[in-house]
Amino acid sequence: MLTPDEAERIARTFKALGDPTRVRLLSLIAASGDGEACICDLTEPVGLSQPTVSHHMKLLVDAGLTTREQRGRWAYYRIVTDALEQASRTLRP
């Protein structure tokens, strides 16, 4: 049984995954050869402006699904696989 804090954290994860654009962004990062993606490489595939993609990525970072590393003027993102696995485990019997 989940504690209230755990339930809140997991709910943020599922809420972040409730948007198709954010799911696509995670998929793009996962499909990258080195397991990370620059924000500059994420805008064109989803057909959105850089500020809009940055907003979506901020929500994914806040939900604990990705990490963000600033390198010069670009932000690079990696998936936090433990967060996805933990959310998945909450639904298993």
pLDDT grade for 7, boundaries at 50, 70 and 90 = confident
Rounded Cα distance, 26 and 4, in Å: 27
What's the domain range around 84? Answer: 4-88
- In sequence order, what are the residues at sequence separation of 6 or more whose Cβ sits closer than 8 angstroms to the Cβ of residue 14? 87
Residue range 17-72, pLDDT digits in tens: 999 999 999 999 999 988 899 999 999 999 999 999 999 999 999 999 999 999 99
93 part of a folded domain: no
CATH number at residue 57: 1.10.10.10
pLDDT for 1 equals 80
Minimal CA–CA distance to 55: which of 44, 43, 72? Answer: 43
pLDDT for 17 equals 93
Total domains in the chain come to: 1
DSSP assigned state of 73: T
CA distances 69 to 10, 19, 23, 57, 90, Å, are 23, 23, 20, 12, 29
46 part of a folded domain: yes
**The whole model's pTM is what?**
0.88
